Amino acid sequence: MTDSQTNLLPTLPASGATAPAIPVAKPSFAPQANPESVERAIIDQSAKGPVLTFFTTAIFWLIVSTFLGYVASKKLHVPDFVPGPEWLYSLLGIDGIIRSIFDTNFAYGRAWPAYNTALIYGWCSLAGMGVATWLIGRLCRVSIQAPGVLQFGAWFWNAGVAIGVVMILAGYNTGLEYFEMHRAARACIFLGYLFIGMWGLILFRYKRTAAPYISISYLVAAFFLFPWFFGAADLLTTTQMPGVMKNIVNAWYQGGLFNLWFGTLGLAAAYYFIPKVINQPIYSYNLSKIGFWGWVFLGGLTAMTKLNGGPVPAYLVTLSIAASILMIIPITCLAVNFGRTMSGHTGKMAYSPTLRFTYVGTVFFAIAAGLSVLGALRSVNSFTGFTTWDYGVKHAMLIGFFSMVMFGAIYYITPRLVGCEWLSRTFIKLHFLGTAYGGATIIGLFLIGGLATGFTLNNPTVDVSEAYKLREFTFANVMQDAGAYQAVKSYIGYTLFGVAQLIFAVHFIFMRLRIGQPAGEPTLLANPGEAH
Amino acid sequence: MEKPSTLFTGIFGAFIVSTTAMVLIPHSQLSGLQPQIVWEEGQNAPSEVYPSKIEHSLGHRHGERIFVENGCFYCHTQQVRDPQFGPDIERGWGPRRSVARDYIYQDTPLLGATRLGPDFANYGWRDADGKRFWRNEQPAVAATFVRDEAFIYKHLFNPRVRISDSNCPPNPALFEKREIGSGVSPDAVKVEDGKQWVPTASARNLAAYLISLDRSKELKEAPVAKKEAKK
Whether residue A188 is predicted with pLDDT greater than 90 in this model: the reply is yes
Q: How many CB atoms lie within 10 A of CB A173?
A: 27
Please name the residues in contact with B193: beta carbons below 8 A apart, sequence gap of 6 or more.
none
Would you call A459 and B230 a contact, using CB atoms and an 8 Å cutoff? no
Nearest to A221 by CA among A255, A259, A186: A259
- Report how far residue A81's alpha carbon sits from residue A64's, in angstroms, rounded to the nearest whole number: 18
Whether residue A234 is predicted with pLDDT greater than 60 in this model: the reply is yes
A242-260 per-position pLDDT tens digit: 789 999 999 999 999 999 9
Which of A297, A307, A313 is closest, CB to CB, to B14? A297
Whether residue A202 is predicted with pLDDT greater than 60 in this model: the reply is yes
- Report how far residue B74's alpha carbon sits from residue B20's, in angstroms, rounded to the nearest whole number: 29
- Average of per-residue pLDDT across A481-496: 88
User: In which band, very low, low, confident or very high, does the pLDDT at A316 lie, cut at 50, 70 and 90?
Assistant: very high
Of residues A456 and A238, more confidently modeled: A238
Sign for the pseudo-dihedral over CA of A339, A341, A346, A348: negative
DSSP state of A111: H
pLDDT at A526: 81
Taking a C-beta distance cutoff of 8 angstroms, is the pair B99, B130 a contact?
Answer: no
Whether residue A192 is predicted with pLDDT greater than 90 in this model: the reply is yes
Q: Searching chain B, which residue's CA lies closest to the CA of residue A465?
A: B138
Whether residue A208 is predicted with pLDDT greater than 60 in this model: the reply is yes
Whether residue A402 is predicted with pLDDT greater than 90 in this model: the reply is yes
Whether residue A19 is predicted with pLDDT greater than 50 in this model: the reply is no
pLDDT at A520: 75
pLDDT at A130: 95
Give which of A247, A453, A471 to mutate to test B binding, by max B Cβ within 10 Å. Answer: A247
Q: How many interchain CB pairs under 8 A, A with B?
A: 245
ipTM at complex level: 0.93
Whether residue B196 is predicted with pLDDT greater than 50 in this model: the reply is yes
Q: Which of A27-36, A351-360, B40-49 has the lowest mean pLDDT?
A: A27-36
- Average of per-residue pLDDT across B189-205: 89
DSSP-assigned beta bridge partners for residue B37? B49
pLDDT at A522: 81
Please name the residues in contact with B68: beta carbons below 8 A apart, sequence gap of 6 or more.
A173, A174, A175, B108, B110
Whole-number percent of chain B with pLDDT over 90: 32
Would you call A462 and B87 a contact, using CB atoms and an 8 Å cutoff? yes
A64-123 per-position pLDDT tens digit: 999 999 999 999 888 888 888 888 888 888 888 888 899 889 999 999 999 999 999 999
User: In which band, very low, low, confident or very high, does the pLDDT at A417 lie, cut at 50, 70 and 90?
Assistant: very high
pLDDT at A29: 44
- In degrees and rounded to multiples of 5, residue A158 shows phi and psi of -60, -40
| Most confident residue range from A17-26, A195-204, A387-396 | A387-396
Please tell me if residue A36 touches chain B, with a CB cutoff of 8 Å. Answer: no
Please tell me if residue A243 touches chain B, with a CB cutoff of 8 Å. Answer: yes
Please name the residues in contact with A440: beta carbons below 8 A apart, sequence gap of 6 or more.
A400
pLDDT at B222: 86
- The percent of chain A in helix, strand and coil, each rounded to the nearest 5, is 75, 0, 20
Interface of A with B in 390-429 (CB under 8 A): 390-391
Whether residue B94 is predicted with pLDDT greater than 60 in this model: the reply is yes
| Most confident residue range from A381-395, B45-59, B81-95 | A381-395
Q: Which of A195-204, A463-472, A517-526 has the lowest mean pLDDT?
A: A463-472
Q: Which of A17-31, A308-322, B182-196 has the lowest mean pLDDT?
A: A17-31
User: In which band, very low, low, confident or very high, does the pLDDT at A443 lie, cut at 50, 70 and 90?
Assistant: very high
Whether residue A294 is predicted with pLDDT greater than 60 in this model: the reply is yes
Q: Rounded mean pLDDT of chain A? A: 87
Of residues A358 and A521, more confidently modeled: A358
pLDDT at A463: 60
Whether residue A2 is predicted with pLDDT greater than 50 in this model: the reply is no
Q: Rounded mean pLDDT of chain B? A: 85
DSSP state of B186: T
Q: Give the count of alpha carbons within 13 A of B132, CB side only.
A: 20
Q: Searching chain B, which residue's CA lies closest to the CA of residue A139?
A: B1
User: In which band, very low, low, confident or very high, does the pLDDT at B88 lie, cut at 50, 70 and 90?
Assistant: confident
Whether residue A27 is predicted with pLDDT greater than 60 in this model: the reply is no
- Average of per-residue pLDDT across A515-519: 85
Give which of B116, B156, B209 to mutate to test A binding, by max A Cβ within 10 Å. Answer: B116
- Average of per-residue pLDDT across A19-31: 43
Whether residue B20 is predicted with pLDDT greater than 90 in this model: the reply is yes
User: In which band, very low, low, confident or very high, does the pLDDT at B228 lie, cut at 50, 70 and 90?
Assistant: low
Whether residue A516 is predicted with pLDDT greater than 70 in this model: the reply is yes
- Report how far residue A250's alpha carbon sits from residue A268's, in angstroms, rounded to the nearest whole number: 26
User: In which band, very low, low, confident or very high, does the pLDDT at A483 lie, cut at 50, 70 and 90?
Assistant: confident
Q: Which of A191-200, A363-372, B25-34, B125-134 has the lowest mean pLDDT?
A: B125-134
CA distance A349 to chain B (A): 28
pLDDT at A464: 60
Identify the burial level of A160 via C-beta atoms within 10 angstroms of its C-beta, where 0-12 means exposed, 13-18 middle and 19 or more buried. buried
- Average of per-residue pLDDT across A182-194: 95
Whether residue A16 is predicted with pLDDT greater than 60 in this model: the reply is no
Chain B partners of A109 at a C-beta cutoff of 8 Å?
70-72, 74-75, 169
Would you call B116 and A176 a contact, using CB atoms and an 8 Å cutoff? no
- Report how far residue A7's alpha carbon sits from residue A139's, in angstroms, rounded to the nearest whole number: 23
Of residues A323 and B107, more confidently modeled: A323
Whole-number percent of chain B with pLDDT over 70: 94
- Average of per-residue pLDDT across A27-49: 75
- Average of per-residue pLDDT across A424-429: 92
- Average of per-residue pLDDT across A20-43: 62
Would you call B167 and A483 a contact, using CB atoms and an 8 Å cutoff? yes
DSSP-assigned beta bridge partners for residue B191? B196
Q: Chain centroid to CA B177: how far?
A: 29
Whether residue A30 is predicted with pLDDT greater than 50 in this model: the reply is no
SS3 of A387-435: the string is: CCHHHHHHHHHHHHHHHHHHHHHHHHHHHHHHCEECCCHHHHHHHHHHH
pLDDT at A466: 57
pLDDT at A257: 95
pLDDT at A465: 58
Q: How many CB atoms lie within 10 A of CB B93?
A: 28
**Helix, strand, or coil (residue B132):** strand
Give which of A101, A208, A245 to mutate to test B binding, by max B Cβ within 10 Å. Answer: A245
Of residues B194 and A217, more confidently modeled: A217
Task: To the nearest 10°, report the CA torsion of A165, A167, A171, A176.
Answer: -60
